[in-house]
């Protein structure tokens, strides 16, 4: 029987790295594999800041956890794996151990995309630590295989680190097509009523916590060219939201932008919306693109992450330049067209990327490494 250990700071339902590992675990078990976890909790340390603390205190706690899980966590993960010689291990973040490493994002690429690269790296010692750690990861013999989530990310790995010693395999993230699905008419009505949205208003939804990198200012400025569109913003800290509200007022679109803060479940907000907007500077994958398509929403995105691999201009959304005019033009177009056909095509795209399909690609890689290691 196939034995798999997944290594990640945390593994739980939801989005992000934790949600990816959780969904893979579920599909591995369904396929008959034995699956174990090694998380920060196993290594006896919380994976992130919690409780009512300032944004700075949470940031410092998370930075501490990254360093701790990358160092002490690595030693304990290796000991954990040594006790399970028949297991194939899949590492998702931080730890320098595991047969397969899943690249959920390149820090250096993200910093370059945001501008002022040298200053952003130098002002945060954890960034320098992470860059050195990952140079060791990709140039050394830590892993037997690397998984990149998109073809673009596979190319970025090589351009960032030069020769990557382990072979790179492109395996995209999947989407839970049962959880993320188009709403029934009454579900959509309730979701819009809860937000106080007029039935005739086209709603573009922006979901993300890094407003600048993901392009929220551009999305707000784009509303000037899309007078029939309102913007729903999911994510952000109170301080980030206050600054963004001021930007919206300055752009004279404050009345058309609603901030709802951070929520664990994006589904009600996707159900209440008509289009996802993501004018991001960098994404390793952007799982939210798949989640929106699965809910029947066309996507207006820059050419980042998974978007170029999955968004087809004029079919299930649009790929745009990272400027307000380009974004606004496409949002305005969608606001003037019937949403029915767009929703059907968006959903059809997502169904080709369900978690069972993605998990099979991982299992094929697991079996290849089992053979390489001589595990019966």
Query: How do residues 3-25 score in pLDDT, each as one tens digit?
Result: 999 999 999 987 789 999 999 99
Question: Among candidates 257, 369, 275, which has minimal Cα distance to 329?
Answer: 275
Question: Among candidates 286, 285, 241, 291, which has minimal Cα distance to 268?
Answer: 291
Quickly state the pLDDT bin for 49 (edges 50, 70, 90). very low
> Quick check: 219 and 327 in contact, CB under 8 A?
yes
112 Cα distance to chain centroid: 18
Give the number of C-alpha atoms closer than 13 A to the C-alpha of residue 232, restricted to the C-beta side.
26
Adjacent-strand bridge partners of 147: 102, 169
pLDDT of residue 50: 45
pLDDT at residue 56 above 70?
no
Question: Among candidates 170, 138, 159, 160, which has minimal Cα distance to 308?
Answer: 170
Domain limits of the chain? Answer: 3-174+354-373, 185-351
pLDDT tens digits along 229-272: 999 999 999 999 999 999 999 999 999 999 999 998 999 999 99
In this prediction the pTM is: 0.85
Q: Which two tokens stand for residue 277?
A: 């907007």
Average pLDDT over residues 336-355: 94
Question: CA angle, 164 as apex, 16 and 40 as ends, to 5°?
Answer: 35
pLDDT of residue 119: 83
Average pLDDT, whole number, for the chain?
A: 92
> Would you state the CATH architecture of domain 3-174+354-373?
3-Layer(aba) Sandwich (3.40)
Cα–Cα distance between 124 and 122 in angstroms, integer? 5
Domains 3-174+354-373 and 185-351 share a fold: yes
> Would you state the CATH architecture of domain 185-351?
3-Layer(aba) Sandwich (3.40)
């Amino acid at each position: 029987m196939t034995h798999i250990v997944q290594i990640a700071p945390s593994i739980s339902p939801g989005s992000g790295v934790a949600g990816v590992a959780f969904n893979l675990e579920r599909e591995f078990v369904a396929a008959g594999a034995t699956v174990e976890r090694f998380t920060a909790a196993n290594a006896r340390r919380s994976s992130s800041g919690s409780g009512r603390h300032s944004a700075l205190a949470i940031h410092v706690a998370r930075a501490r956890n990254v360093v701790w899980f990358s160092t002490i966590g690595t030693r304990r993960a290796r000991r954990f794996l040594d006790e399970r010689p028949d297991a194939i291990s899949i590492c998702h973040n931080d730890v320098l151990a595991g047969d397969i490493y899943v690249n959920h994002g390149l820090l250096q690429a993200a910093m370059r995309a945001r501008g002022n690269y040298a200053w952003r790296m130098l002002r945060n010692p954890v960034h320098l630590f992470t860059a050195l750690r990952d140079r060791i990861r990709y140039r050394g013999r830590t892993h037997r295989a690397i998984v990149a989530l998109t073809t673009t990310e596979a190319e970025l790995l090589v351009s960032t680190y030069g020769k990557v010693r382990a072979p790179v395999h492109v395996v995209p993230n999947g989407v839970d097509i049962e959880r993320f699905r188009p709403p029934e008419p009454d579900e959509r009505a309730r979701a819009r009523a809860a937000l106080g949205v007029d039935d005739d208003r086209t709603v573009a939804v922006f979901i993300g916590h890094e407003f600048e990198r993901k392009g929220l200012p551009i999305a707000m400025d784009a509303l000037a060219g899309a007078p029939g569109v309102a913007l729903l913003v999911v994510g952000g800290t109170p301080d980030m939201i206050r600054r963004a509200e001021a930007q919206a007022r300055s752009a004279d679109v404050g009345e058309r932008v609603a901030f709802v803060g951070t929520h664990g479940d994006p589904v009600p907000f996707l159900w209440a919306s008509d289009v996802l907007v993501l004018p991001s500077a960098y994404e390793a994958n952007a799982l939210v693109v798949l989640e929106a398509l699965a809910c029947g929403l066309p996507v207006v995105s820059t050419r980042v992450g998974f978007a170029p691999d999955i968004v087809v201009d004029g079919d299930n959304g649009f790929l745009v330049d990272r400027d307000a005019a380009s974004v606004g033009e496409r949002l305005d177009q969608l606001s003037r067209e019937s949403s029915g056909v767009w929703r059907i095509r968006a959903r059809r795209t997502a169904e080709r990327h369900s978690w069972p399909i993605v998990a099979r690609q991982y299992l094929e890689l697991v079996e290849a490494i089992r053979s390489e290691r001589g595990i019966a």
